């Protein structure tokens, strides 16, 4: 396994820099545009590190006890739904994501428009889409390939 070139703190700093006012009437679209712009500004190596760190954060969350949480069982969510939810939570920033990992039920009850979280799949694909736009390739080169 290739060591990630980005620290988790650097990852969250980028994610948090893309946060916008949740009261926006077009919140999901505006937030995605802000997220895209933050990632698009990254050099290729940092974009690859961001994608790798995103994957690591997701894997840790999925390996936790979260899938057994009553919240998930009561919703009848598929694995893909859970991944979309986690991607949406990551996009909401470090505090929301970490709070969710500690108290999924509480965060879901307190978050503004939680139904939007399941519609955040594109946030997870943004680094690949940016790489495709830059190079025409559908995958991000790992740090060791550069």
What pLDDT score does 114 carry? 80
Confidence of residue 146 (pLDDT cuts 50, 70, 90): very low
pLDDT in tens, 102-124: 888 888 888 887 878 888 999 99
Q: Does residue 124 lie within any of the structural domains?
A: yes
Mean pLDDT, rounded, for 133-139: 80
Q: Does residue 1 lie within any of the structural domains?
A: no
Confidence of residue 66 (pLDDT cuts 50, 70, 90): low
- Which of 55, 27, 26 is closest to 126 using CA atoms? 55
CB atoms within 10 A of CB 114: 14
pLDDT tops 60 at residue 67? no
Confidence of residue 145 (pLDDT cuts 50, 70, 90): very low
Rounded CA separation 26/108 (Å): 20
Q: Does residue 2 lie within any of the structural domains?
A: no
Q: How far is CA 36 from the centre of its chain?
A: 12
- Which of 44, 74, 58, 68 is closest to 140 using CA atoms? 44
pLDDT in tens, 76-106: 667 787 888 899 999 999 999 999 998 888 8
What pLDDT score does 69 carry? 59
Q: Does residue 126 lie within any of the structural domains?
A: yes
Domain hosting residue 32, numbered range: 8-18+25-145
Mean pLDDT, rounded, for 12-29: 92
Mean pLDDT, rounded, for 60-68: 74
Rounded CA separation 71/64 (Å): 14
pLDDT tops 50 at residue 144? no
Alpha helical stretches, state H, the chain? 8-17, 27-40, 44-63, 70-75, 79-91, 94-102, 104-110, 121-135
Q: Does residue 125 lie within any of the structural domains?
A: yes
139 within 8 A of 131, measured Cβ to Cβ: yes
Residue with tokens 């006890």: 65
Rounded CA separation 47/140 (Å): 8
pLDDT tops 70 at residue 139? no
The listed range with the strongest mean pLDDT (1-5, 7-11, 26-30) is 7-11
Question: How many domains does the structure of the chain reveal?
Answer: 1
């Amino acid at each position: 396994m290739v060591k990630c070139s980005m620290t988790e703190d650097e990852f969250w700093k980028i994610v948090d820099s893309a946060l916008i006012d949740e009261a926006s009437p077009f919140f999901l679209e505006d937030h995605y545009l802000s997220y895209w712009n933050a990632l698009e500004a990254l050099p290729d190596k940092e974009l690859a590190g961001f994608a790798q760190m995103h994957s690591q954060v997701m894997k840790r969350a999925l390996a936790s006890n979260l899938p057994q949480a009553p919240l998930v069982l009561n919703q009848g969510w598929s694995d893909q739904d859970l991944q979309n939810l986690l991607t949406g939570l990551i996009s909401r920033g470090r505090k929301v994501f970490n709070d969710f990992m500690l108290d999924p039920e509480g965060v879901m009850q307190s978050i503004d428009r939680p139904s939007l979280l399941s519609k955040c799949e594109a946030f997870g694909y943004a680094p690949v889409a940016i790489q495709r736009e830059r190079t025409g390739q559908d995958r991000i080169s790992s740090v060791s390939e550069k």
